[in-house]
């Protein structure tokens, strides 16, 4: 929503909105001319409309799937008969109005769209971008460019991406998720097939078995084999601070790449981004130089800093496959002795916050299996995201599942976010990589550790 608001403001629209929580994002929007209200009440709608007095503007209310029907602003907008559209309708209007690249799939959407936009900006294409995370090169999740291309993240969580008609559609992978919306994998595949049918050209990941079976792509990429695909990067050396790989097009090697993002999943994201740029005519040599400056988006293995000689890393991983890939990347840092962090970690402590009762119930055993690859596990209280509790689904239940698989693995459960910070303080030591994962408020761990410093840090693990 904030990316769309910023782009529309840059394009001359009068934009207002509300958010009760101050943030740097809101500060940027305010500097771009967006009126931001902190209260979400009937009076806010009245004030927004008053701001249009004396203009020829026709008001349009834009909502996301996260806005509940009982929201006071939404109820007042309906009472006044104001036109109301979903955020996906606005994004579709942008995507469909110019040559665009839309990135969809279960995992890696934010990172891949960030890498595409970063590469295009680095080679002088000046793209417009609408992305679900902060792009380091832009300092924002949205960018109003003057170039011919628009890059957008196409979220599948509510099925609204079927409205998009991009020139180039990109599918990273497909795996069951968002079980609150999709009853099974077949329903998710059907939605993504609908999206694919609206793309002029489709670029897809040949390494994903679901994509191979259910989709007919115009072009394929891989990190496993250069045969039978249009683009590939085959690893020569995988380290904790990046990957050295050979780049292939149609089976022919063109040269080596030094990818500064560790992990096989990040190599796949980079291949996808480069392949998209190549399909848009960007020369390989220009991309090879630009790859050296790639950085992941915010909340994707985002090092917040050193706290008491521990590296505190924030990551958005909230699906078992994402948790497993993120832990594998961190494990590579521990085992290879090379790391992009301010220290080379000696031990990996996984801090995980389950997100949604439905997702946790569906994937409890898979989450447990992924977490056993850490050296210690600390669990935050489950983040409900508005869902009603489900019997037997909780962080303690996940802890028991982890212990059943790895009886000797240290596992502890916090009863609150404040208690989680105390668990981190008492249960970790200098040289540890503290990897906080989840889509809820576990990203507040860094601030909560700072608050501990102010009132005195505990010295023993709180069980």
Is 460 among the domain residues?
A: no
Give the pLDDT confidence of 395-438 residue by residue, as tens digits: 999 999 999 999 999 999 999 999 999 999 999 999 999 999 99
Token digits for 407?
Answer: 């009886």
- Does position 459 have pLDDT exceeding 50, yes or no? no
Residue pair 384/357 in contact (Cβ under 8 Å)? The answer is yes
Average pLDDT of the residues in 344-370: 97
Average pLDDT of the residues in 17-28: 90
Tell me whether residue 46 is one of the annotated catalytic residues: no
Token digits for 221?
Answer: 């990429």
Average pLDDT of the residues in 28-49: 93
Give the pLDDT confidence of 108-141 residue by residue, as tens digits: 999 999 999 999 999 999 999 999 999 999 999 9
What is the bridge-based pairing of β-strands 242-249 and 231-239? antiparallel
Is 281 among the domain residues?
A: yes
Answer yes or no: do 211 and 329 share one domain: no
Is 462 among the domain residues?
A: no
Token digits for 339?
Answer: 């790391």
Answer yes or no: do 167 and 270 share one domain: yes
Torsion (CA) 383, 139, 202, 88 in degrees, nearest 10: 60
* 44, 110, 128, 360: the active-site residue: 110
* CATH number of the domain enclosing 23: 3.40.50.720
* 109, 125, 372, 428: the active-site residue: 109
Answer yes or no: do 184 and 319 share one domain: no
Average pLDDT of the residues in 309-313: 97
- Domain containing residue 35: 2-82
CA–CA separation, 8 vs 40, rounded Å? 21
**Other CB atoms within 10 Å distance of the CB of residue 388:** 7
Answer yes or no: do 283 and 390 share one domain: no
- Does position 460 have pLDDT exceeding 60, yes or no? no
Total tally of structural domains belonging to the chain: 3
Token digits for 160?
Answer: 């609204």
Domain's final residue, options 34, 65, 82: 82
Torsion (CA) 436, 106, 330, 350 in degrees, nearest 10: 30
- Predicted TM-score (pTM) of the model is 0.91
Average pLDDT of the residues in 95-119: 97
Answer yes or no: do 319 and 367 share one domain: yes
* 153, 280, 322, 422: the active-site residue: 153
Answer yes or no: do 134 and 215 share one domain: yes
Is 296 among the domain residues?
A: no
Is 297 among the domain residues?
A: no
Residue pair 311/432 in contact (Cβ under 8 Å)? The answer is yes
Tell me whether residue 110 is one of the annotated catalytic residues: yes
Is 363 among the domain residues?
A: yes
Q: How far is CA 401 from the centre of its chain?
A: 27
CA–CA separation, 317 vs 216, rounded Å? 29
Answer yes or no: do 313 and 183 share one domain: no
Is 185 among the domain residues?
A: yes
Tell me whether residue 163 is one of the annotated catalytic residues: no
Domain's final residue, options 257, 291, 325: 291
Domain's final residue, options 291, 315, 345: 291
Residues 6+ apart with CB under 8 A from 176: 106, 182, 184, 185, 188, 362
Answer yes or no: do 258 and 149 share one domain: yes
* CATH number of the domain enclosing 370: 3.90.190.20
Answer yes or no: do 412 and 437 share one domain: yes
Is 396 among the domain residues?
A: yes
Token digits for 208?
Answer: 């994903």
Answer yes or no: do 236 and 104 share one domain: yes
Answer yes or no: do 249 and 318 share one domain: no
Answer yes or no: do 49 and 108 share one domain: no
Instruction: Give the total residue count for the chain.
Output: 463
């Amino acid at each position: 929503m904030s990316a769309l608001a910023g782009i529309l403001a840059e394009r001359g629209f009068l934009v207002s909105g509300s958010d009760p929580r101050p943030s740097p994002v809101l500060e940027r929007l305010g500097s771009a001319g967006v009126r931001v209200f902190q209260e979400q009440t009937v009076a806010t709608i009245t004030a927004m409309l008053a701001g249009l007095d004396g203009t020829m503007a026709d008001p349009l209310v834009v909502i996301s799937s996260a806005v509940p029907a009982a929201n006071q602003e939404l109820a007042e907008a309906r009472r006044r008969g104001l036109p109301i559209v979903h955020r996906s309708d606005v994004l579709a209007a942008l995507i469909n109005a110019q040559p665009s690249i839309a990135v969809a799939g279960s995992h890696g959407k934010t990172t891949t769209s960030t890498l595409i936009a970063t590469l295009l900006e680095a080679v002088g294409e000046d793209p417009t971008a609408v992305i679900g995370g902060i792009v380091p090169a832009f300092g924002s999740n949205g960018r109003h460019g003057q170039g011919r291309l628009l890059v957008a993240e196409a979220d599948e969580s509510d099925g609204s991406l079927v409205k998009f008609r991009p020139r180039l559609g990109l599918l990273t992978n497909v795996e069951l998720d968002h079980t609150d919306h999709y009853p099974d994998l077949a329903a998710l595949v059907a939605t993504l097939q609908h999206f694919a049918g609206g793309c002029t050209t489709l670029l897809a990941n040949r390494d994903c078995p679901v994509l191979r079976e259910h989709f007919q792509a115009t072009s394929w990429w891989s990190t496993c084999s250069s045969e039978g695909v249009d683009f590939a990067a085959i690893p020569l050396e995988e380290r904790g601070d990046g990957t050295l790989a050979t780049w292939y097009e149609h089976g022919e090697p063109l040269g080596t790449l030094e990818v500064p993002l560790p992990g096989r999943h990040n190599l796949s994201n980079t291949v996808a981004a480069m392949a998209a740029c190549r399909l848009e005519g960007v020369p390989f040599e220009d991309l090879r130089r630009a790859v050296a400056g790639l950085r992941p988006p915010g909340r994707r293995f985002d090092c917040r800093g050193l706290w008491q000689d521990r590296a505190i890393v924030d990551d958005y991983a909230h699906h078992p496959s994402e948790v497993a890939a993120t832990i594998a990347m961190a494990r590579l840092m521990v085992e290879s002795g090379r790391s992009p962090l301010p220290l080379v970690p000696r031990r990996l402590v996984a801090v995980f916050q389950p997100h949604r009762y439905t997702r946790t119930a569906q994937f409890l055993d898979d989450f447990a299996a992924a977490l056993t690859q850490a050296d210690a596990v600390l669990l935050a209280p489950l983040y409900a995201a508005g869902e009603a509790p489900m019997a037997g689904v909780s962080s303690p239940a996940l802890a028991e599942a982890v212990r059943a698989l790895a009886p000797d693995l240290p596992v502890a459960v916090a009863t609150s976010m404040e208690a989680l910070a105390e668990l981190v303080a008492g249960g970790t030591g200098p040289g540890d990589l503290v990897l906080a994962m989840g889509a809820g408020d576990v990203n507040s761990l860094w601030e909560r550790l700072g608050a501990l410093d102010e009132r005195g840090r505990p010295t023993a693990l709180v069980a």
